[in-house]
Amino acid sequence: MSTLIRWSKFNLVGAAGMAVQLASLALINRCFAGHYLLASAAALELTLLHNFVAHLHYTWRDRRDNSAVLAQLLRFHLSNGLVSMLGNLALMRLLVGVAHLPLLAANSIAILCCSILNFCLGNNWAFSAAAPSLLTRQLPSPPARAPKSTTPRHAASSSPLAHARRGAAI
């Protein structure tokens, strides 16, 4: 699949994830008013889980390995999760706490700022076709040994000089 098509799919999933995140943030902030950073973190975690499932089944379905779903989820959280969490919380603190932007507008800006790096990390590591993983890594097999020769040492050489030496030794 071309990078442009995958980028388009990523953005479609991202748009749905953005709706999940903004709706979750509005709801959580309504229930726990005044704690916008905690509300942002909780909404982001819900969005990460939503986006992982959507990316697994849509954006990178050609790279899905059923035996490695846990490893992909771990890589997704270590890459997109960390970028999104750190980026969103830092930008939310700046945009809401310092610049006094409205909560949902600030969160929209934070999401968009993290999206390009998240695509690169998802494409090249979290959902990579051959991503290394601690959970799926196999130990290398030992090097193959040469088979032992069953020929006696003195019979291995067939030169006339070696033959004469063998005859003299007998």
Is 169 inside a domain boundary?
A: no
For 14-31, the pLDDT digits (tens) are: 999 999 999 999 999 999
Tell me: the pLDDT tens digits for 81-116?
A: 999 999 999 999 999 999 999 999 999 999 999 999
Does 133 reside within a domain?
no
Q: Assess whether pLDDT exceeds 50 at residue 136.
A: no
pLDDT score for 128: 86
User: Whose CA is closest to 32, among 165, 24, 152?
Assistant: 24
Q: Which residues of 5-17 are buried (b: 16+ CB within 10 A; e: fewer)?
A: ebbebbeebbeeb
pLDDT the model gives residue 122: 94
Q: Is residue 75 part of a domain?
A: yes
Domain count across the chain? 1
Mean pLDDT, to the nearest integer, of 132-155? Answer: 54
**For a pLDDT cut of 90, what percent of the chain falls above it?**
64
Query: Is 160 domain-assigned?
Result: no
- pTM recorded for the entire structure: 0.69
Alpha-helical segments (H) within the chain: 3-31, 36-54, 69-76, 82-92, 103-121, 160-169
Torsion, Cα 97 98 100 104, to 10 degrees, reads -50
- Does a structural domain hold residue 152? no
**Contact criterion met (CB below 8 Å) for 34 and 89:** no
Answer yes or no: is 148 within a domain: no
For 2, how many CA atoms within 13 A lie in the half-sphere containing its CB? 3
| Residue 167, pLDDT score | 59
List the domain range (segments joined by +) for residue 55.
Answer: 3-126
Q: Examine residue 29 and state whether it is found in any structural domain, yes or no.
A: yes
